[in-house]
Structure 1
Amino acid sequence: MEIYALFGTSGTGKSSSALELAYRMNIDAIIDDGILIYEGRKIAGTSAKYEKTKIQAVKRAIFHYEEHASEVKRILDQIQPSRILILGTSKRMIERIVEALQLSSPAEYIPIESIKPKQEIEAAQYVRQTMGKHVIPIPRVEVEKDFLQRLIASAQQIFSSKKEMIGETTVVHPPFTGGRIQIHPQVLRKIVLATCNDFAEVGQVLKTVFTFDDLPRLYVTLSLKLPYGRDIPTLMQDIQLALHKETSFCLNIAPASIDIQIAGLELITTE
């Protein structure tokens, strides 16, 4: 039985990447947050995402409870998977899981950064922090019936080149997430205004739009007031860098793109 480990800090998208990674590496079992998933179906364990507190969730995820660990060990002995992928927030957490389930040490540790682009990781963290959404790499029908009301959405099924279904992910709101964070549009606009006002060439900020559908993106429409011969592309790049720095600092999330449109241009003479 070969053990593989996928690790990364909380909210970086490990669970949403687990099925695709398992398929590429011919891994037939996944251990994630207290549950054992085999061939795309939960077959043992209880998800830590349904615990009421973070402490209970951590204990559940590392199989602290003997009854929980014994159940998963027994099923592993029965199915004897050839390869297992264990998910954890750190190598130390994965070592705790391996020890609790009496498994061999992982043959390979895979950091989430090696399989997921930085922008996707930042977007996943933003969704976790602001919306409290967690992913379980099992189908909707496998989620415990008592918690169906927590179900938010079901991700698209992942298909192989032969159209063979290999899995699906389910998004839930765990009780311990503590609610959602909402950022008022006026706050976002004021961040843009304050940043752009540092540039004498900016006459007016006409429009500001933020979208968070896939990745955080910022769209700004400006009017400029500048002398003839001013290098506009360089100015736009300076404004983009300033907006990127300020939104990253204020919101703790870097926009994946910042698009600036110039809707007005006034040329001024210099003495």
Structure 2
Amino acid sequence: MKIYSLSGPSGTGKSTSALQFAHDYEIQAIIDDGLLIINGEKAAGTSAKFEKNTLKAVRCAIFEDEVHKEEVLQAIKSHEVESILIIGTSDKMTKRIATRLQFGEIHHFYYVQNIRSEKEIRMAKYVREVQGKHVMPVPYRQVEQNFFKRLIQRGKEIFSTNQVKLGETTIVQPDFHQNSVYIARPVYLSVLDHVLQQHEMLAKFEVANLQIEGIPQMRLNLYLKSPVHYDVAHNLHKLQKNISEVFLHHFGIEPEKIDIQLKGIK
């Protein structure tokens, strides 16, 4: 069996990218947080995200429990798995999992920065650290909802470049994740208002929509001052860039979308 390792710090988007990565490298199965995933579906195991504290979650992820370990090994055997991707926070962790599951040496090592851009990693960290959301690369219907006291919601469908569905993700908020930061909507609005007030070309502005679930998105209605003796498109682009930079400075994340509609001139 060919063994692959994908590692990187917690909350950098490894699970989000796992299905696409496995497809690109023709890897049959995935080991992620105690689960065995085959063809985008949970085949065996129990997710570490079901545990009540961090210590138990780590023990689950490295298969310390004999029953858990044997269940996954039997499923690998019955599915005749020929290649597998182990996901972990470091090479040390993926090697430990490979040893625990008696896989032998890992043949290929990859890292999250090899497959995700700096911006994508920053976005993933924001969702994890600020909102306390974790991603599981399995369908919503396969996640045992009774394990979670808090958030559980559908993630997104993952498709290959030729639009073949590879699987789905589910977003959860495990009990052991305690240190989240809640940023209230008025805080985003206050920062946005401050940025817009600084732009001399604006006579009036309206925040038509501000979405703060996930990565912030916004739609702005703007009225320009008369006379218009400046490059409108250039200045609106500068405004978008300014909003992105200020959000990155204050919240650690750039907005996913900044739609601007020019409504008129005053």
- Once the two structures are TM-superposed, the CA of residue 254 in structure 1 deviates from its matched residue by 0.8
Structure 1: 5+ residue stretches without partners:
267-271
CA gap of 1:23–1:265, structure 2 versus 1, over 3 A, is: same
Aligned to 1:82: 82
Q: RMSD over aligned Cα, in angstroms?
A: 3.7
**Post-superposition shift, 1:69?**
4.2
Counterpart code for 2:33: D
Q: Name which one, 1 or 2, has greater alpha-carbon Rg.
A: 1
User: Where does residue 229 of structure 1 map in the other structure?
Assistant: 229
**Length, aligned pairs only:** 266
For 1:1-271, what aligned pairs fall within 5 Å after superposition? Answer: 1-65=1-65, 68-69=68-69, 72-73=72-73, 76=76, 80-116=80-116, 120-140=120-140, 142-144=142-144, 146-147=146-147, 152-154=152-154, 167-178=167-178, 181-207=181-207, 209-212=209-212, 216-225=216-225, 229-266=229-266
Q: Cα–Cα, structure 1 residues 262 and 139, in superposed 2: closer, same or farther, change >3 Å?
A: closer
User: Aligned in 2, Cα 1:247/1:80: closer, same or farther, shift over 3 Å?
Assistant: same
Q: CA deviation at 1:260?
A: 3.0
Specify the SS of the correspondent of 1:31.
Answer: strand
* Shift in Å, 1:175: 0.8
CA distance in 1 between partners of 2:219 and 2:156 (Å) = 29
> Could you give the per-residue CA deviations for residues 164-208 of structure 1, whole angstroms, max 9, x where no partner exists?
976444433311123865433322221112223333333333335
Distance 1:139 1:247, change over 3 A: closer
Say if 1:188 and 1:64 are closer, same or farther in 2 by CA, change over 3 A. Answer: same
Quote how far apart the aligned CAs of 1:163 are: 10
How far 1:149 sits from its partner (Å)?
7.2
Give the structure-2-normalised TM-score.
0.77
Q: In structure 2, how many angstroms separate the alpha carbons of the residues matched to 1:163 and 1:191? A: 39
Say which SS state the counterpart of residue 200 (structure 1) adopts: coil
Pair 1:113–1:257, CA change in 2 (3 A): farther
Letter paired with 1:224: L
Structure 1 99/209 Cα, relative in aligned 2: closer, same or farther at 3 Å? Answer: same
Deviation at 1:34, TM superposition (A): 1.4
Checking the alignment, whether the CA contact within 8 Å between 2:20 and 2:160 is kept in structure 1 is no
Q: Which amino acid in 1 is paired with 2:87?
A: L
Q: For residues 228 and 143 of structure 1, do their structure 2 counterparts lie closer, same or farther at Cα, with a shift above 3 Å needed? A: closer
- Deviation larger for 62-71 or 86-95: 62-71
Are the equivalent residues in 2 in contact too, given 1:133–1:171 (CA < 8 A)?
Answer: yes
- With normalisation by structure 1, the TM-score equals 0.76
The SS at the match of 1:11 is coil
Partner secondary structure for residue 105 of structure 2 = coil
SS in 2 for 1:132: coil
